[in-house]
Structure 1
Amino acid sequence: MGSIKVQKLTKSFGIHTVFKDVSFELHRGERLGLIGANGAGKSTLLKCLIGEEEYDDGNFIVSAGETVGYLQQNITYDAGLTLRQLLTEAWQDVLRLEKQLKETEQVMRERPQDTELMGRYARMQEKFEWLGGFAYESMSRKIVQGLGFSAADMERPVQEFSGGQKTRINLAKALVRRPDYLFLDEPTNHLDVDMLEWLETYLLSYEGGILIVSHDRYFLDRVATGILDLTDGGVKKYKGNYTQYKIQYRQQRDALEKAYQKQQEHIRETEDYIRKYKAGIKAKQARGRQSQLNRLERIDLNPEAATLKFSFSPAVESGQKVLVLDDVCGGYTGKPLFSHLSLSIRRGETVALVGANGTGKTSLLKLIMGETTPTSGHIVWGSRVQPGYFSQEHTEFNGRTTVLAEIMDTFSYGEEEARSVLGRFLFRGDEVDKTIGALSGGEQARLALLKLFLQGPNFLILDEPTNHLDIPTREILEKALLDFGGTYLVVSHDRYFLDTIAGRTLVLENRTVKEYLGNYSYYREKRQEEQQAAQEKAEPATAIPKKKEATGKIRASEHIKKSAPSSYGKEKQLETIEMKIAELEATVKMYEVQLSLPENMADSQKLMTLNEQYEKTVEALQQAYEKWETLAE
């Protein structure tokens, strides 16, 4: 089995050591989640592995002949380059090889007895199949469609797409070649729920090794087979997904703390004995104990990383009705986002608002907050409601203002009091003198949360509050919301976060909202039941793939038709098995070519081996057909 090996990798910037002696292995079929606090060095480690950064010491070893793909952020593309052209660029070596195969086929027809030429053709054919040449068009199409792009988008210049769409384009470019190993840096950014679930299904069927930097715990629970925790400049590997890692980490940390406390007690008792008897009748025993203490291997208990320390003040009680939207219509000129939308939120409700990108979730929050005006209908606030708004764009900040001045001026604090509350949100020392425009996304989010905390609201309206936050900070925010005691409405793509904090889910689609009385997982379960019921009621005729045999050769992918709409889970499973069928059929085709070559037909042993491999592939293909039929019924 192939693997990549990282051996004692070390990286520093000046006197600051980012990480030291980092070692781990990634095997084909493994999916490792790389986690750690913001600033721990996760992205730097990936850049060292793919050659964008030079590491100071250590080794990075990739098995011979194996390839690595990398999800890059913020790529600059040539003007006028279309999405189709960009993806075609990823297949240039395959297209060149395809052209060479066709040219060689022509020469073979002219020189049918040239066994050396036939052997070269067989090797080219095998390489073409290994590179995914038989399925590159369908592979590209499936990936861009799964990431939310239409056929028309293929002809659009890449520069015309939004920032979120460009992130998805970068992801498509990383996935389309199916390299032996994938390095993904925050692949879930800017993906809505449907795209996230498509990506999870795709990666679960991926046969190579994957290294993923992510703060998305739900994603890591679905995808990861192991976790690499980058903390204090070193890395430790845990088996299982994120939830399993948390259990193991807590158990190991608790055991280490107990052992540390026990050892510290032993050291204190020994030192007391030495001080008491070093000059007396038991001086010899005291010297012996000192020698034992000198040889003792001390347990190293590094302090756990500093995290935010905050909780919302007890909320002033509002009226029973907190917010009512009555027959609200709104949106942009020529593009209505809401039509006759009605909903109400009562005191103490914990509400999540979800929906695909572009459905208008942020626009709805801005409408509620009065930043925009509905074209018709009414928005009514309840009595004694004190709203607090967290905007994902942080437009309330002046980039030239310092962190310290922002808190002092907004809340009329003295410098000492402002520094105290900033310290609880990890702004310490010279960091408070930074301008807000110089802060990272995570630092701006922390500052916005601090301001929200200090306002003392009883109704929180939060738009993507976990964006740019590392996992420890997300968990502190979850606890603060659960202890809040007030009412909140949250827009988020963080499914783990929503499962933890939401008791009611509103789904924005088709210009209105639908209500589910549970958290995110409850909503997805009910949605699948609804889709299944609709499927059964419609009783669609489903096309079944036909297996056509001619002189022992199978050709069937052209007979797999698009099935009628089915449940979301079935659609994803069907997509996965169709991709597998296409790969198996390509392999069958490759073996058929090799079986027909004169040089192989003259070698009885090789012919027998090839025929065995061919029959095994045919059997696997037959099983794939049967699985497709079962799913499509």
Structure 2
Amino acid sequence: MLLKAQAVTKAFGPVKVLTDASLQINEGDSIGLIGINGAGKSTFLKILLGEIKPDTGELTRYTNNIGYLEQFPESSSEFTVHDVLGRPYGHIENIKKKMREIEEAMASGGNVDWNALAAEYSKLERDLKASDVQDESKLIKVLKKVGLSENIMGRTMDSLSGGERTKVMLSRILVQADDCDMLVMDEPTSHLDVETVEWLEDYLLKTHCSVLVISHDRYFLDKIATRMTEISNGKTREYKGNYTDFITKKMLDLDRMEKEYKKYVNNKRRQEEIAEQLHKDQWYLTTHKTRKKLIDKMDEKEKPEENKEITVRIQAAHKSGKNVITCKDLSVQLGGRTILENVELDIQKGDKIGIFGSNGEGKSTLIKALLEEIPSKGELWVAPGAKIGYYSQNHEGLNLMLTAEEQIMSVIGKERRGDARSILSRMLLMGDDVERPIKTLSGGQRARVALCMLLLQETNVLILDEPTNYLDIPARHAVEEALNEYDGTIITITHDRYFLDTVCTKVIEVKDKHITMFNGTYSAMRGRPNTKEVVMDADEYKVIAPFTNWVINKKYAKNDKVLITPAEIGGFQWALDQGKLKKTGGRQRKKVSAPEEPEKGPKMGT
């Protein structure tokens, strides 16, 4: 055992973040820690690391050899990349702490050995200045492993991009890893391109260290996690397996808890009615009191948590023609440098195309060329009927000085405050959050405001730049569901491989100034088998009249319950049109095969 936390609680003022959080980390564990934004994941991590103290609960660490990757990589102008790589997690912090203790001891003027303290303080100053520098060749080697040049070594951390800072922090973990028992990572895949994330996955699968990672990257969690711990309503719940296993088991858990709770409520009500009747019929006896005592002793069942869901519906405008965007021998040059060349594209109505590639390869350049925001050479034709909606990962379309409410009203009209609030509430933005300036909102909240703006547009072509960035897992599911239901054309840049498998029927890799198109999912293109099945939201339907779905060769009887995801709805359209299925309003998540290129024509028969 490396670490054990039991019944940990933590509150900040009146806000209770953790009410009963427990976790045990053993040698060889690889644990995914998940939960919605604001659930307390990072707080719990800092408690485990000893950075903040819990209010109550027990915490025992059996090792101090811990590598830690923070959610927000260090961006100080005080330290260079060389400084950061040369010091393990907590090293400088511990030196400064000891120096403060010596300063306090000297200031107290008590009976102390001044010479010894001065000598120790001088040594600590030298250690701080040296920053525990490691072997130069080892530092260069780990930088190259994550795709960084040794020329970056002298640059300060605040001069780097977010992706470069994350890679530097990953490199620091590699420097430490040989001497670590445990690696702790908070959103390690943020700002990383697909190639680097896949390298990190392979590294973590081979490392001798135990791993604890907070992540919203479902593909990453499917690849590396063998246990999942969810924080919900301040409590932890543990599941064996990866993310997909977690979803399946959680749905079974919720279903079981719902049945047990209903049975408990019904039984308690029935017993209370019997006790009341006994009191009326035999008022002169105490039988009813005995019955009530038995009711009080009944095992109370926990009511399943009711999570509010984001509801996103993107309505398509009138459909465009068959051909939407055509490129022939397209090339782009910026600053005298060729970014893209020989681009050939034939994007047709209904295509859902995912674009991926390493940072700096030209993904955003391709999108901007298609939007005609930057000049290009060659042939580029966009259908006159194409009504394009654009979502930027940097949310340039938002006025950060406005509130979320004012931003929406700037489109629909200042007199429609109630409608603006209704639109925002569908994305779980309500209360004080809609009245705060957008610049004060979190990245995830800003992303949801930007999505609301997208909902207000009439489009038949969506061009999206990292649409799942900053979103937690439930919000990502909601966006994916909406895009699966959207019957227009989608072109999206994303590093989210789960999204590529769930939404996209074609993928484009941008590499070495060229693009490669593949008809199928990301996993099929890469030949990586771990996400042949994905998890999607599914609506519940009731069978009104018997029918056979010939797509999957399955018969359905009257009153059967059927879970149908947006990706599967086409296969059931005939039964819906014939009134053989009726939506119940229920919703669950289910595993489905990763989507393939949709077929045309009728799908079903009686």
TM beyond 0.5: yes
Which structure has the larger Rg over C-alpha atoms? 1
Matched, 1:153 2:152: yes
Opposite residue 335 of structure 1, the aligned amino acid is R
**What does the per-residue CA deviation read over 1:167-206, in whole Å, with 9 as the maximum and x for residues that have no partner?**
1111211232111111100001111111111101111111
Q: Secondary structure at the match of 1:455?
A: coil
CA contact (8 A) 2:389 2:462 kept: yes
Opposite residue 386 of structure 2, the aligned amino acid is V
Match in the other structure for 1:37: 36
Question: How do residues 414-563 of structure 1 correspond to structure 2 at under 5 angstroms?
Answer: 414-525=416-527
Q: Distance in 1 between matches of 2:261 and 2:447?
A: 36
Deviation at 1:507, TM superposition (A): 1.1
Opposite residue 37 of structure 1, the aligned amino acid is I
Q: Distance in 1 between matches of 2:83 and 2:430?
A: 48
Q: Distance in 1 between matches of 2:310 and 2:528?
A: 36
Q: Secondary structure at the match of 1:421?
A: helix
Q: Distance in 2 between matches of 1:277 and 1:383?
A: 78
Match in the other structure for 2:348: 346
Q: Secondary structure at the match of 1:279?
A: helix
Match in the other structure for 2:247: 246
User: Which one of the candidate residues 67, 70, 73 is aligned to 2:68?
Assistant: 70
**What does the per-residue CA deviation read over 1:561-611, in whole Å, with 9 as the maximum and x for residues that have no partner?**
xxxxxxxxxxxxxxxxxxxxxxxxxxxxxxxxxxxxxxxxxxxxxxxxxxx
**What does the per-residue CA deviation read over 1:466-499, in whole Å, with 9 as the maximum and x for residues that have no partner?**
1010001111111111111221011111111111
Larger helix percent: 1
Q: Distance in 2 between matches of 1:515 and 1:208?
A: 38
Match in the other structure for 2:271: 270
Match in the other structure for 1:388: 389
Deviation at 1:142, TM superposition (A): 4.6
CA contact (8 A) 1:315 1:485 kept: no
CA contact (8 A) 1:216 1:494 kept: yes
Deviation at 1:56, TM superposition (A): 1.6
**Structure 1 alignment gaps of length 5 or more:** 94-132, 528-633
**What does the per-residue CA deviation read over 1:446-484, in whole Å, with 9 as the maximum and x for residues that have no partner?**
111111122132211111011010001111111111111
CA contact (8 A) 2:480 2:499 kept: yes
Matched, 1:143 2:142: yes
Distance 1:92 1:303, change over 3 A: closer
Match in the other structure for 1:230: 231
Opposite residue 485 of structure 2, the aligned amino acid is D
CA contact (8 A) 1:11 1:18 kept: yes
Match in the other structure for 1:317: 319
Deviation at 1:160, TM superposition (A): 3.7
Q: Distance in 2 between matches of 1:526 and 1:243?
A: 16
CA contact (8 A) 1:315 1:484 kept: no
Distance 1:429 1:151, change over 3 A: closer
Deviation at 1:157, TM superposition (A): 4.7
Matched, 1:306 2:290: no
Q: Distance in 2 between matches of 1:152 and 1:74?
A: 19
CA contact (8 A) 2:258 2:304 kept: no
Q: Secondary structure at the match of 2:23?
A: strand
Question: How do residues 328-407 of structure 1 correspond to structure 2 at under 5 angstroms?
Answer: 328-374=330-376, 376-407=377-408
**What does the per-residue CA deviation read over 1:338-389, in whole Å, with 9 as the maximum and x for residues that have no partner?**
1232212100111111111101111222222233222x22432214221111
Opposite residue 12 of structure 2, the aligned amino acid is F
Q: Secondary structure at the match of 2:266?
A: helix
CA contact (8 A) 1:12 1:18 kept: yes
Q: Distance in 2 between matches of 1:42 and 1:331?
A: 44
Q: Secondary structure at the match of 2:309?
A: coil
CA contact (8 A) 2:500 2:522 kept: yes
Q: Distance in 1 between matches of 2:161 and 2:314?
A: 36
Number of residue pairs matched by the alignment: 483
CA contact (8 A) 2:81 2:154 kept: yes
Question: How do residues 187-206 of structure 1 correspond to structure 2 at under 5 angstroms?
Answer: 187-206=188-207
Match in the other structure for 1:8: 7
Q: Distance in 1 between matches of 2:143 and 2:34?
A: 28
Q: Distance in 2 between matches of 1:230 and 1:91?
A: 25
**What does the per-residue CA deviation read over 1:82-131, in whole Å, with 9 as the maximum and x for residues that have no partner?**
534532344999xxxxxxxxxxxxxxxxxxxxxxxxxxxxxxxxxxxxxx
Distance 1:139 1:33, change over 3 A: farther
Match in the other structure for 1:86: 84
Deviation at 1:208, TM superposition (A): 1.9
**Structure 2 alignment gaps of length 5 or more:** 92-131, 530-606
Q: Distance in 2 between matches of 1:380 and 1:12?
A: 57
Distance 1:518 1:428, change over 3 A: same
Opposite residue 451 of structure 2, the aligned amino acid is L
Match in the other structure for 1:255: 256
Deviation at 1:159, TM superposition (A): 4.4
Opposite residue 276 of structure 2, the aligned amino acid is R
CA contact (8 A) 1:390 1:452 kept: yes
Deviation at 1:333, TM superposition (A): 0.8
Distance 1:162 1:395, change over 3 A: same
CA contact (8 A) 1:147 1:172 kept: yes
CA contact (8 A) 1:353 1:361 kept: yes
Q: Distance in 2 between matches of 1:75 and 1:506?
A: 33
Opposite residue 219 of structure 1, the aligned amino acid is F
Q: Distance in 1 between matches of 2:24 and 2:141?
A: 31
Question: How do residues 179-218 of structure 1 correspond to structure 2 at under 5 angstroms?
Answer: 179-218=180-219
Q: Distance in 2 between matches of 1:279 and 1:92?
A: 71
Match in the other structure for 1:163: 162
Q: Distance in 1 between matches of 2:361 and 2:320?
A: 30
Distance 1:222 1:140, change over 3 A: farther
**What does the per-residue CA deviation read over 1:62-86, in whole Å, with 9 as the maximum and x for residues that have no partner?**
11x541121122424455x553453
State the TM-score, normalized to the length of structure 1.
0.72
Percent of pairs with identical residues: 35
**What does the per-residue CA deviation read over 1:414-452, in whole Å, with 9 as the maximum and x for residues that have no partner?**
111111111111111222111111111000111111111
State the TM-score, normalized to the length of structure 2.
0.75
Q: Secondary structure at the match of 1:34?
A: strand
Distance 1:306 1:91, change over 3 A: closer
Deviation at 1:6, TM superposition (A): 0.9
Match in the other structure for 1:60: 59
CA RMSD of aligned residues (A): 2.4
**What does the per-residue CA deviation read over 1:150-169, in whole Å, with 9 as the maximum and x for residues that have no partner?**
34434555444322101111
Distance 1:463 1:270, change over 3 A: same
Matched, 1:46 2:45: yes
Opposite residue 391 of structure 1, the aligned amino acid is S
Larger strand percent: 2
Q: Distance in 2 between matches of 1:53 and 1:36?
A: 20
Distance 1:458 1:289, change over 3 A: farther
CA contact (8 A) 1:29 1:206 kept: no
